[in-house]
């Protein structure tokens, strides 16, 4: 038996546009007939009034996969999710869902405005087929995540859009659906809540449940999903690793391709260690691709180990000419890192590097005492802008690029210091680039 969670087979959806209502009564049919006689070219009108939102879209999603659906406005993303959520029927083709489904397609999906937040939690749980005892067990966790405890006994029709989406997402994510579908609705929430939602969806995916995610935020797509599906004009344009599909999408829309986060798929061959993700951040922990001259920057590298072992991480900074101008590594702190079995994370902070105002890319190497075990070329790229970051009125010399100091430390997945094995040292290294 296949382990597909979603099977979409040649799904098409046609809509009629420009018609105010359907002709359900005798009067409607008579008036429609009179109107068609008065039109000079009724045949052309009927063609114009039909549009294909989806056309012959086919794909399969395995159980436990996190898949993004991306594309421009009007590409058919929301229509596809509505078909999968059984809100609308396809014109042709079939879409099969295997498992309990929770979808969040618009603010207040599945909520009854006259009911309180508390009542809507129990209502949504019942719709998902959960027992009252199961919902009660998750209730406090849902309320805490949504941060609307003060208004939990207020009818949701009085909620702001932000409060609506907080509670709706908390319900959808915590009531243990086997398949979670989330549309761009998360854009309604504030930045901190969006980060919390992405973290929750990531944990849902890692727990073996299936996630389908629609967003115009390509950083969150690459962060959350290992695979992406690109829709263009209702047709499937590309299906593959999220980073590759995002780069195709951005390139076709004339956007400079600079991702501050890159998820790396596990190696096909059996390997004792591999890099799983690389993230570039500013000093406040926000993903960035553009920095002022002299502004601190961070690199967060996640990696997997089949067994506990000593490892080192190396970064190789390359300029726009392809020249390697700096190569810090964690072993410069005079000892190897003790990695644990499973997921590990280490962060390198560059303390005010004086880089020329040009684009750069970074390669990440993972090694042990003897050799490089895994390497990711062009893991992240960024630009340095010629600005007076320190506000001194004295501009760094634009002729040279010097990275003077770095700090290494082990962190958890969220970037918090790992106090159990915190490794930190200041290492001087540098390289000059004459332009």
Same-domain check for residues 144 and 281: no
User: What number of residues does the chain have?
Assistant: 435
Residues 277 and 238 in one domain: no
pLDDT on residue 44 = 46
Query: Tell me, what's the pLDDT at 67?
Result: 92
pLDDT of 56 reads 93
The mean pLDDT value for 288-316 works out to 86
Q: Tell me, what's the pLDDT at 428?
A: 29
Q: How far is CA 206 from CA 173, 199, 200, 210, 393, in A?
A: 13, 11, 10, 9, 49
Whether residue 218 sits in one domain with residue 296: no
Q: DSSP states of 18-68 as a string?
A: S-SS---SHHHHHHHHHHHHHSS-HHHHHHHTEEEEEEEEEEEEETT-EEE
CA-to-CA distance for 386 and 435, rounded, in angstroms?
15
Q: Is the pTM of this model over 0.85?
A: no
- Structural domains of the chain, count: 2
> In this structure, what CATH number is given to the domain that contains residue 361?
2.70.50.60
Highest-confidence segment of 171-175, 208-212, 349-353: 208-212
Percent of the chain with pLDDT strictly greater than 90: 11
Domain finish residue from 252, 277, 297: 252
pLDDT digits (tens, 9 = 90+) for 178-225: 888 887 666 555 667 777 777 777 788 778 888 888 887 777 787 778
Q: Do 29 and 160 have their domain in common? A: yes
Residue 433 lies in a domain: no
Choose the weakest-confidence range: 55-69, 182-196, 326-340: 182-196
Quote the domain boundaries for residue 50. Answer: 4-252
Residues 137 and 103 in one domain: yes
CATH of the domain at 71: 3.40.50.300
Instruction: Verify that 100 and 176 share a domain, yes or no.
Output: yes
Same domain, 226 and 330: no
Structural domain includes residue 414: yes
Residue found by looking up tokens 């073996």 in the block: 208
pLDDT in tens, 204-216: 877 888 888 888 7
């Amino acid at each position: 038996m296949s382990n597909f969670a979603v099977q979409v087979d040649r799904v098409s959806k046609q809509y009629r546009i420009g018609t105010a209502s359907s002709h359900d009564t005798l009067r409607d049919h008579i008036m429609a007939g009179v109107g068609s006689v008065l039109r000079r070219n009724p045949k052309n009108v009927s063609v114009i009034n039909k549009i294909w939102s989806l056309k012959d879209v086919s794909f399969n999603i395995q159980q436990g996969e996190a898949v993004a659906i991306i594309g421009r406005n009007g590409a058919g993303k929301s229509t596809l999710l509505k078909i999968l959520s059984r809100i609308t029927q396809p014109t042709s083709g079939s879409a099969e869902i295997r498992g309990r489904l929770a979808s969040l397609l618009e603010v207040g999906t599945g909520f009854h405005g006259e009911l309180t937040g508390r009542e809507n939690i129990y209502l949504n749980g019942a719709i998902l087929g959960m027992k009252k005892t199961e919902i009660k067990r998750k209730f406090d966790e849902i309320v805490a995540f949504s941060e609307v405890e003060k208004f939990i006994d207020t009818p949701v029709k009085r909620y702001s859009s932000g409060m609506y989406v907080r509670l709706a997402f908390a319900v959808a994510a915590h009531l243990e659906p086997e398949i979670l579908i989330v549309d761009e609705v998360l854009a309604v929430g504030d930045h901190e809540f969006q980060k919390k939602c992405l973290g929750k969806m990531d944990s849902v995916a890692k727990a073996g449940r299936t996630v389908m995610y629609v967003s115009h935020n390509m950083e969150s797509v690459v962060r959350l999903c290992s695979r992406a599906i690109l829709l263009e004009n209702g047709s499937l344009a590309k299906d593959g690793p999220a980073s590759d599909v995002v780069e195709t999408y951005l390139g076709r829309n004339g956007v400079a391709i600079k991702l501050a986060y890159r998820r790396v798929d596990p190696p096909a061959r059996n390997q004792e260690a591999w890099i799983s993700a690389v993230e570039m951040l500013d000093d406040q922990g926000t993903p960035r691709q553009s920095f002022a001259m002299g502004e601190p920057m961070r690199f967060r590298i996640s990696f997997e180990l089949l067994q506990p072992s000593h490892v080192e991480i190396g970064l190789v900074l390359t300029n726009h000419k392809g020249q390697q101008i700096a190569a810090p590594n964690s072993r410069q702190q005079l000892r190897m890192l003790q990695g644990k079995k499973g997921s590990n994370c280490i962060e390198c902070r560059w303390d005010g590097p004086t880089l020329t105002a040009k684009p750069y890319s970074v390669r990440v190497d993972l090694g042990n005492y003897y050799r490089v075990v895994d390497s990711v070329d062009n893991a992240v790229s960024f630009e340095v802008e010629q600005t007076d970051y320190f506000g001194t009125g004295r501009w760094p010399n634009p002729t040279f690029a010097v990275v003077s100091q770095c700090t290494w430390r082990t962190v958890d997945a969220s970037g918090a210091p790992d106090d159990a094995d915190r490794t930190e040292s200041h290492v001087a290294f540098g390289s000059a680039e004459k332009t």
